[in-house]
Amino acid sequence: MPIQPTKKLETFLNPTPSRDYHIHMEIPEFTCLCPKTGQPDFATLILDYIPDKRCIELKSLKLYIWSYRNENTFHEAVTNRILDDMVVAIKPKYMHLTAKFYVRGGIFTNIVAEHRKSGWKPKPAVNLKEFEKQSNICK
């Protein structure tokens, strides 16, 4: 049975839900169709998220992304729809999606969409250089 594109996103349990950790994915082969001309649009999607209880399964993400190949959609709409679908699927603490569309009509378009779980706040960033200065570790 050949693999087919699908809008279904599969998930799995976060193996370390007690820790905030960052998952970074780059998807360089995103395609959809321009709703005005029907011509293909190409983009690299950059997905960053901090999972809560669930993570996105990669094969289903690949098939989900593939499902847009013959879909007419504006850049802004598809970026926000992808973010919304992933948020519904895994309910992350934080998710950030950047869609970098290649040039069309002499214009590059980048769309950035973000989600934060209500009440979630990131922990303060650790600055190791400042820590080393304060503790005189490196003399």
| Per-residue pLDDT reduced to its tens digit, 49-91 | 999 999 999 999 999 999 999 999 999 999 999 999 999 999 9
In the three-class reduction of DSSP (H, G, I as helix; E, B as strand; rest coil), residue 72 is classed as strand
pLDDT of residue 137: 55
Give catalytic residue positions.
Answer: 34, 41
C-alpha span between 72 and 42 (Å, rounded): 12
Three-state DSSP state, 106 = coil
Token representation of residue 71: 């879909």
Domains of the chain with bracketed CATH: 11-135 (3.30.1130.10)
Closest residue by Cα to residue 89 from 7, 4, 3 = 7
Q: Which amino acid, residue 25?
A: M
Pick the more confident residue, 106 or 13.
13
- What is the Cα–Cα distance from 40 to 35, expressed in whole angstroms? 10
CB 56 within 8 A of CB 89: yes
Tokens of 79: 């970026």
Three-class DSSP category at 62: helix
CA–CA gap between residue 64 and residue 74 (Å, rounded): 17
Q: How far is CA 112 from CA 45, 90, 96, in A?
A: 10, 19, 7
Residue 100 has pLDDT above 70, yes or no: yes
Tell me which of 45 and 128 has the higher pLDDT.
Answer: 45
pLDDT digits (tens, 9 = 90+) for 9-63: 999 999 999 999 999 999 999 999 999 999 999 999 999 999 999 999 999 999 9
Q: How far apart are CA 103 and CA 44, in angstroms?
A: 12
